[in-house]
Amino acid sequence: MNNQTTLWEYRLQAEDSGQKYLAILLHKFHFSLKVLQRLKQGERVWVNGRFTYLTARGKEGDLLSIQLFSDEEANIPGEDLPLDVLYEDEYILAVNKPIDQVVHPNHRYPTNTLGNAVIGYWKRRGEHRQYRPIHRIDRNTSGVVVIAKNQFAHQQLAWQLERGHLHKRYHGFVQGVVREIEGTIDDPIGLAPDSFIKRQTQINGQPARTHYRVLHRYPAATFLEFILDTGRTHQIRAHCQGFGHPLLGDDLYGGDLTFITRQALHSSMYAFLHPATRLPVIIRAPFPIDLRVLVKTLKVQE
């Protein structure tokens, strides 16, 4: 095995006795059919140090070992760009994305993206991987982005995301004084008329639910914490405009540009179960300079 091989291991319990390894991986650990199909190619599965087939049946005490991945060709070009790494192990990479950077290359932003930075970072370390972000945040939203380092980790985290087991927390500064200490915005979101970018709350849109809590009130602004039950494009931005308190600096959604010239929104925390150990992982990203300056400016007005 090469230096990029990761072994996933599990010691079978009493309830696993007599079960096929395939069934254990599929039902107990939620391995996708795509990952399981890949495991059948070559000698990738061992029990107690000996090669086995996934259709074999196990017994209590068996040590099941799986070669999860090897070198992969990068799916986007790498570039030598700054990268603020918050956490990294064999399975996941978490970074603090700066403003004015998109998460993945597209026709408008083919280079200088977070993806180009991540691939370049791995290549400089001699690692050959594909870029698999678990989620995306807007170009001018700062904060945590989590990237899976192999197909298994991506599938495991995507499974958690789909079932609401993966939790994201944002912090933002909105216009005006929000009177309620906390609340929930449960308004569907869809594309605004005559726009391919802007969203708005509308009856026939996709379901969207945002929970908010007031952390601090300033004379003309409110510092809020947001927790999302759904992950619609521009969800927080559209919901804030919809309930009359657009994010400061968010000119697309009616935000005041007096204090800051980008939406004052930060992806501050990401919590999930580790794809291999299943232990809780919490990733936090500190505020960037412009938001720290914003806080000082708002405090002067108090």
* Active site amino acids: 138
Tell me which amino acid residue 174 is: V
Residues 6+ apart with CB under 8 A from 143: 96, 97, 137, 170, 266, 267, 268, 285
d(CA 155, CA 148): 9
Query: Which structure tokens are listed for 169?
Result: 């927390």
Residues facing residue 203 across a β-bridge: none
Residues 6+ apart with CB under 8 A from 53: 21, 45
